[in-house]
Amino acid sequence: MENRNKNGFLPKIKKQYLSLKENPRNFILTVFTNIKKYFYENKFFLLYVVLNVINAFLLRGFTIGVENMWEIPPFLADLALIIVIGAFSYFLKKRARFVYLFVVTIIMTLICLINSAYYTFYTSFSSISLLSTVKFITAVGDAVVENVLEPKDLIYLLAPVILCYYHYYYKKSNYYEKTGFLNSSRKKAKYTLVAGLAVLLLFSTTITATDIGRLTKQWNREYIVMKFGIYTYHVNDLIKSLEPKLASIFGYDNALKEFKEYYENKEKSPKNEYTNIFEGKNIIAIHSESMQNFVIGMKINGQEVTPNLNKLASGGMYFNNFYSQVSIGTSSDTEFTFNTSLMPANLGTAFGNYFDKEYVTVPKLLKEKGYYTFAMHGNNADYWNRRVMHKNLGYDALYAKDSFVIDEERGLGITDESFFRQAVEKLKVINEEYGKFYGTFISLTNHTPFNDKYGTYSDFDVTLKENVLNSETGLMEEVVYPYMEGTKIGKYLKSVHYADYALGIFFEELEKNGLLDNTVIILYGDHDARLPENDYIRLYNYDKETDGILSEDDPNYVEFNDYNYELNRKVPMIIWTKDKTNAGKVISNVMGMYDMMPTLGNMFGFYNEYALGHDIFDIKDDNIVVFPDGNWLTNKMYYNSQKQESYILNNSVVTQEYVIKNTEYAENLLSVSNNILVFDLIKNSKEETVNEIDIVKGS
């Protein structure tokens, strides 16, 4: 110990202190010389650091926004992790060091590229747990290329290219031999690690207990990347992805306690004017692919985009402020939330990662009331693991792609028109054999990227036409302006028009075969179409004179900002019956997919004690829609939990207490829902109750 002190760290500090005190100029010159020497001898390592920091910096700019890319905390977090990981390269020598830093750069580059592309489509960041869904991507490959990948996503690839170029440049110029950079050096490794830890310590002074709490929960991904950087986010994500496997070891008791407290304090909805109004009737649930609400009632050149949906909306109960609450599982998330009134999985998907857990579901509860339950879909039964998950949800049967004759194709497969015609033939048999049924019909054609490799979707015209007087001839002539032609929304409108046409065919066939007489139709959009914000701005602010966008100073300019975009993602929800029960009733209170099960349960006479949503006719204007990323919506405001910003609606007046209360409610709901999936709490709580009863009986 004495020898170490004599030649070790403390004597060096003392010597440097005395040098500074006696000759400050020489000390500063020595420090500057050492720094200059370090920079010269470690150019390749510093290049590795700079390139990966720049990539993380660009990612924040392309995703969270330019105004947030300059934040210091994520910069420090990314820098610290890059330095610490890179420091281990100094234990290696020669070619192994380059290979190590190059592989690390490739990994970090892929992290940035994947998240940049992923954010474009999902407005969120990717996860290790998504590896279980990779097999589903091949079925929608065109969508990935056209709707997700953009030129900006390729800029990250410059990092490994530049690193590789300079490696060969340094090698050719004998830089490595001159500096000995490729020789192993424990001393450099130690000092580099210390430097990385020092940056990490500096970063730790910028975070709060709230930040740590959100990091451990992981659901608010944008917030985590804003505070901790993309690389720290993914390290934490890797740890969290192991959570389902570690569930039986860690956190179960706290999760069960939180679960019990939540449902003990949840009040059961009272009866209302809609209680049991549809009890005993057949149910046809139409899961309408990518159907957004903004198309209802919309016309171009006097032609309705969705004439059949318009008739349904005006002839039934129309919920015009309805949100699907999906995460990365898109359609499968909607199926899960609709049937369970739980939120999508925090990591991965419920269908892919939690298919073996126990849930209380619409099909199970209706089976108890004598219904035959089934689903029909023209896609592969294994897509989104439906073959397995539908059984767990309680469906008696899944009629998938192999149950249909693929005689007509558009987009991803069988056309909606052919699917619906064949589905009605199967439904006739089901109706005759079982009498009472609940069927989910999942459409397919109106799926991104809204391009039809087999022909045109429809003849719907998305140009703008006007009759203009020709001053030379004195005659009226038709002038055609491009308007939405060639845009993604233009393609979407053509696709939607076809989907609406196929829906009309479905109703005609149902009516012709007497299948509407004792049936309730429930139609909902499964999620928004993820269309570009700029296309909406063009849609609502088209300047035909310039074939561009109206100036913001123009009195006809319609503002469409990021919050308008988020609120515009709502989907239609319609409850319709042939006898026109409650026809023309419009429900404008905000409503989420998790509210469907309690609302329908009240109407059809079933109840789920574990539902997270509410009967909309009980809660009315006091409802709150919680989104998987922690954002929430009420009639009064939309709250972005990532940016911690409020967007006031309907000229409402809200207090800070209102925001805090609803934010805490949203966080608690998301935590309880995720714990149900991870720890299988519905099953385990039932088993605990049975055991407690047995103990009481035994005593």
Give the pair of three-digit tokens for residue 584: 């023309």
Q: Which of 505, 496, 372 is nearest to 440 (CA)?
A: 372
Residues 377 and 484 in one domain: yes
pTM of the predicted protein model: 0.82
- C-beta neighbour count of 186 within 10 angstroms: 9
Could you tell me if residue 151 is inside a domain? Answer: yes
Helix or strand run (H / E) with residue 494: helix 488-512
Domain count, the chain: 2
Task: Report the interhelical angle of 416-434 vs 488-512 (nearest 10°).
Answer: 30
pLDDT at 422: 98
Helices and strands, counts by H and E, the chain: 28, 21
pLDDT at 32: 61
Banded model confidence at residue 64, pLDDT cuts 50, 70, 90: confident
Average pLDDT over residues 646-663: 96
pLDDT at 1: 43
CA–CA gap between residue 397 and residue 269 (Å, rounded): 31
Among 587, 613, 639, the domain boundary falls at: 613
The answer on pLDDT for 128 being more than 80 is no
Hey, is 454 helix, strand or coil?
coil
Residues 530 and 598 in one domain: yes
The residue written with tokens 């592309």 in the block is 117
CA–CA gap between residue 401 and residue 382 (Å, rounded): 10
Terminal-residue alpha carbon distance, the chain: 65
The answer on pLDDT for 2 being more than 80 is no
Residues 236 and 131 in one domain: yes
Residues 237 and 278 in one domain: no
Could you tell me if residue 233 is inside a domain? Answer: yes
CA–CA gap between residue 201 and residue 69 (Å, rounded): 21
The answer on pLDDT for 292 being more than 70 is yes
Domain that holds residue 351: 271-613
Asked if 84 contacts 194 with a C-beta cutoff of 8 angstroms, the reply is no
The residue written with tokens 């309690």 in the block is 598
Asked if 293 contacts 528 with a C-beta cutoff of 8 angstroms, the reply is no
The answer on pLDDT for 35 being more than 70 is no
Could you tell me if residue 378 is inside a domain? Answer: yes
The answer on pLDDT for 274 being more than 70 is yes
Specify the range with the lowest mean pLDDT, choosing from 172-186, 225-239, 629-643. Answer: 172-186
CA–CA gap between residue 622 and residue 634 (Å, rounded): 7
Could you tell me if residue 620 is inside a domain? Answer: no
Q: Which of 392, 394, 370 is nearest to 282 (CA)?
A: 370
Average pLDDT over residues 619-648: 94
The more confident residue out of 218 and 409 is 409
Report the share of the chain in percent with pLDDT over 70. Answer: 87
pLDDT at 552: 93
Asked if 352 contacts 556 with a C-beta cutoff of 8 angstroms, the reply is no
* Per-residue model confidence as pLDDT tens digits over 539-573: 999 999 999 999 999 999 999 999 999 999 999 99
Q: Which of 280, 380, 274, 375 is nearest to 334 (CA)?
A: 375
Q: Where are the beta strands (DSSP E) in 507-623?
A: 519-525, 542-543, 548-549, 571-577, 585-587, 591-592
Asked if 384 contacts 351 with a C-beta cutoff of 8 angstroms, the reply is yes
pLDDT at 62: 87
pLDDT at 82: 95
Asked if 481 contacts 466 with a C-beta cutoff of 8 angstroms, the reply is yes
Burial class (CB in 10 A: 0-12, 13-18, 19+), 30: middle
The answer on pLDDT for 172 being more than 80 is yes
Identify the bridge partners of residue 592 per DSSP, sorted by sequence position: 323
Asked if 352 contacts 372 with a C-beta cutoff of 8 angstroms, the reply is no
Residues 389 and 506 in one domain: yes
Average pLDDT over residues 418-440: 96
pLDDT at 130: 66
Could you tell me if residue 680 is inside a domain? Answer: no
Specify the range with the lowest mean pLDDT, choosing from 29-33, 151-155, 173-177. Answer: 29-33
Residues 232 and 318 in one domain: no
* Per-residue model confidence as pLDDT tens digits over 350-374: 998 899 999 999 999 999 999 999 9
Mean pLDDT of the chain: 87
Could you tell me if residue 672 is inside a domain? Answer: no
Among 188, 220, 241, the domain boundary falls at: 241
pLDDT at 242: 73
The residue written with tokens 């009064």 in the block is 636
Long-range contacts formed by 60-67: CB under 8 A, 24+ apart: 60/225, 60/226, 60/230, 62/116, 62/119, 62/152, 63/115, 63/116, 63/119, 63/125, 63/222, 63/225, 64/222, 64/225, 64/226, 64/642
Could you tell me if residue 656 is inside a domain? Answer: no
The residue written with tokens 């990591």 in the block is 347
Residues 227 and 304 in one domain: no
The answer on pLDDT for 177 being more than 70 is yes
Residues 421 and 281 in one domain: yes
The answer on pLDDT for 653 being more than 90 is yes
* Per-residue model confidence as pLDDT tens digits over 375-385: 999 998 888 88
Residues 314 and 233 in one domain: no
- C-beta neighbour count of 92 within 10 angstroms: 18
Residues 503 and 464 in one domain: yes
Helix or strand run (H / E) with residue 198: helix 186-204
The answer on pLDDT for 81 being more than 60 is yes
Among 613, 632, 663, the domain boundary falls at: 613
CA–CA gap between residue 484 and residue 542 (Å, rounded): 9
CA–CA gap between residue 381 and residue 389 (Å, rounded): 10
Residues 61 and 138 in one domain: yes
Report the share of the chain in percent with pLDDT over 90. Answer: 62
pLDDT at 26: 60
Give the pair of three-digit tokens for residue 604: 């059809």
The answer on pLDDT for 454 being more than 70 is no
**Which residues fall within 8 angstroms of residue 376, CB to CB, at 6 or more apart?**
398, 399, 400, 403, 419, 423, 426, 439, 440, 441, 442
Banded model confidence at residue 688, pLDDT cuts 50, 70, 90: low
Could you tell me if residue 675 is inside a domain? Answer: no
Average pLDDT over residues 263-291: 93
Q: Which of 198, 400, 357 is nearest to 685 (CA)?
A: 357
* Per-residue model confidence as pLDDT tens digits over 489-523: 999 999 999 999 999 999 999 999 999 999 999 99
pLDDT at 640: 93
Q: Which of 60-69, 165-174, 247-256, 324-333 has the highest mean pLDDT?
A: 324-333
pLDDT at 296: 97
CA–CA gap between residue 391 and residue 339 (Å, rounded): 12
Query: The CATH number of the domain where 427 resides is what?
Result: 3.40.720.10
Residues 143 and 204 in one domain: yes
User: What letters, b where the CB count within 10 A reaches 16 and e where it falls short, cover 112-135?
Assistant: bbbbbbbbbbbbbbbbebbebbee
